[in-house]
Amino acid sequence: MERDGNGWVECQLGHRHWGLHGAAGLLLHTVDPDGSLRVLLQHRADWCHHGGTWGLPGGARDSHESVQDAALREAVEETELDAAQVRVRHTFVDDHGGWSYTTVYGDCVAQLDTVPNEESAALEWVRADRVDELTLHPGFGHTWSRARLASLVLVVDAANVVGSVPDGWWKDRAGATERLGERLRPLLSTTLDDDQTSGVISGIHVVVEGAARAAVIAPPIETVRAEASGDDAVVATAQSLSHNGQQMVVVTSDRELSRRVGQIDDTIAIRGTAWLLDLLTG
């Protein structure tokens, strides 16, 4: 039944919530040129429940729909965003007992245009590190500290990735590396959610060596040109990012290099080229 989720419930924590079948909100991320993350927030109109606070676009789930569909439907109603530009990813469930709120993560390549409906005083792409400075909707405040995603930088051992697909790369190493750079670009702002790695890709460093050093890859992807060994350059890049407290995923299938990277910091995720190729085609 359409809108059969509309209604109030009391959860086991003693809150009063809107949504008989729970509620869902859409959490969209984008990445600024400097690598900082932004999220789309709704400043709720004064007349709404908890008016004047900031939260996610979203609302009550109907009995027949998935949380993903509910979050997207409600977000479209409240923001007029183009759902075709959003790729829905994983979810985070905040279960209060008898009622739950599901944060649905969505990817979009750039800040989408939005038009506030009557429930919104404003819609803004807010820097993720500034969200805590706002007066948050209590439900969103309850979820945000646990649902927020870290920024992740990919460090790509380009020779290893390019070499893993026999497409004639040996005839033009620089060209093959440039094509890899173009394929990597859409991964910026992608949400990762495998067991050990969760976060939003906020930067990509492509490490190139030998003849591939002539490759020209446009910013914001960073090209690291190895002066000698590509492995040494990957290690140096990972060390420098780790030193700055940056979480990262190093992409290489080279065993010895994986071992060296693993010694830098055990929070660094190391993934093989198959993982990256899956991400590019998935």
Enumerate binding residues for Zn ion (CB under 5 A). Answer: 11, 13, 15, 96
At 265, is the secondary structure helix, strand, or coil?
Answer: coil
Distance of alpha carbon 81 from alpha carbon 67, whole angstroms: 18
Of residues 101, 122, 126, the one with CA closest to residue 30? 126
d(CA 217, CA 235): 21
Alpha-carbon distance 37 to 126, whole Å? Answer: 8
Give the whole-angstrom CA distance, residue 65 versus residue 71: 10
Could you give the CA distance from residue 266 to residue 149 in angstroms, rounded to a whole number? 19
> How many Å apart are CA 31 and CA 185, to the nearest integer?
12
In 3D space, the residue among 222, 277, 228 whose CA is nearest the CA of residue 252 turns out to be: 277
How does strand 151-157 pair with strand 247-251? parallel
In this structure, the strands spanning 269-271 and 247-251 are parallel
β partners of residue 27: 105
- Pick from 38, 42, 63: which is nearest to 51 by CA? 42
d(CA 161, CA 212): 12
CA of 269: how far to CAs of 26, 240, 277, in Å?
A: 27, 15, 16
